[in-house]
Amino acid sequence: MTIDYKIRKATLETAINVLLIQKRKSTNRTARNIIDIGCSLSKNTITEDTIDKIYNELITLIPNENIKIIKNFVVENFL
């Protein structure tokens, strides 16, 4: 793991912690915000199809799963 990866991962995980505070108010908005930060930290170009799949998965994960599962899912898909 490079230092760049570690910094991006820590940034993403911190952002997820903050964003999930508001998850009960608007799951859709929380999912979009997570995708926005994930895309901005990703080194790879992410297609619209992939973003749609990630969005749909986040919509189901956010209300039901714990933060660790959501973090792992996001890190796997964006970093």
What is the reported pLDDT for 23?
84
- In the structure encoding, which two tokens stand for residue 67, read together? 């933060």
Can you count the helices (H) and strands (E) in the chain?
Answer: 4, 0
Produce one character per residue of 18-45: b if its CB has 16 or more CB atoms within 10 Å, e if not.
Answer: ebbeebeeebeebbbbbbebbeebeeee
72: left (phi over 0), alpha (psi -120 to 50) or beta: alpha
Provide the number of structural domains found in the chain: 1
Written as one letter, the residue type at 31 is A
Name the residue range of residue 12's domain.
Answer: 3-78
> What does the pLDDT profile of the chain (79 residues) look like in tens digits?
799 999 999 999 999 999 998 888 899 999 999 999 999 999 999 999 999 999 999 999 999 888 999 999 999 999 9
